[in-house]
Structure 1
Amino acid sequence: MKTIKLTATQETILKQAAETGTLHASTLTLKGGARKKVLDSLANKGFLIRMKKADTFDISPQGKAAIGLPVDDQPADKGKIRTGTKLHKVIKLLARPEGAAIHEIMRETGWQQHTVRGTLAGTLKKRLGLTIESEKPEGKDRMYRITAGLKALFQGETV
């Protein structure tokens, strides 16, 4: 298992994000370039998730794990996906027992192949913390399937 090394500042910021839920950059004691550099670093490593509102972050499951918090301790309203969106369609396809191939997701969403791959790696794995497995049956297309993390995402709703 890979050991994650954090600076004291990074650890403090992640702990503050875990305590407050949503982290606003303006509440940090760091100023200017130093603040931007640390926040960008944590976001690029997948420990913080950039929210739509400027300079606002949330802690990711990887961020929680980095500071020793249990990952399943995520509040129910964090990271919920609106039904009817393309992302919701992708998650429904991947949640099936057989999973989905890239071309199925492309047909369902109208996305190009690179967009589907980026969604799998970026949005689903990094931002939402889902576990996605892939397998390549002999003579068939590679199939992708979500194996963990859906419960917190769709609490009270069937996928």
Structure 2
Amino acid sequence: MTKLTETQTIILSAGAQRPENIALPLPKGLHGAAAKMAVTKMMERGWLQEVDANLRRNEPLWRETGDGHGTTLVVTDAGLLAIGIEPVVVKTLVAIREHAAKATPPKPPTLRPGTKQAMLIEMLQTDKGATIAEIVAATDWMSHTARGVISGVLKKKLGLAITATKVDGRGSVYRIG
């Protein structure tokens, strides 16, 4: 096993416990030139690797590369081996955590009675259904808001099956189910 400094051991051990083996944030008190020197030595030995940061997932930045992009530090398989951890074990634990997170079904959203959303759902559950004009009159929403609630909230968020059919004299009529 390779001889590691205390700082190197802390960085690699913490990174091994994080999703995607991200080595950031570095330990408290390690910043500036000392942080750069420690990271550079670890990269030279192949224990850390600099990769593009996924800013959508708010991954911590090691350095900015410009144009709103940046890099983060990831513990490599060699880094895991340096602290005595088999990379396969880490990957298996990550897979188990992800499976456990997916196994618990999300709690269905609760509908509060008396809200405009509840009123809209009641209108769409009737045999008659509702047009955008009727929804606008009942809720005081703008027409684009009514369409947005139907597609964004009812369809995507709540997972309701909304159908639209053309009816002579009424236009597009929306119904649930």
Instruction: Give TM-score, length-normalised by structure 1.
Output: 0.47
Instruction: Give TM-score, length-normalised by structure 2.
Output: 0.43
Q: Which has the larger radius of gyration?
A: 2
